[in-house]
Amino acid sequence: MSFKIPSVPPTTNKTIRFPNDLIERVESLIQGKDCTFSAFVVAAVRAAVEEVEAEQNESSL
pLDDT digits (tens, 9 = 90+) for 6-57: 776 676 788 999 999 999 999 999 999 999 998 899 899 999 999 999 999 9
Task: Provide the whole-model pTM.
Answer: 0.73
Q: What is residue 15's predicted lDDT score, i.e. its pLDDT? A: 92
Helix (H, G, I), strand (E, B) or coil at 20: helix
If you ran DSSP here, which 8-state letter would residue 33 be given?
A: S
CA distance 45 to 53: 12
Q: What angle do CA 4, 22, 38 make, to 5 degrees?
A: 50
| pLDDT at 14 (0 to 100) | 81
- Predicted pLDDT at 1: 75
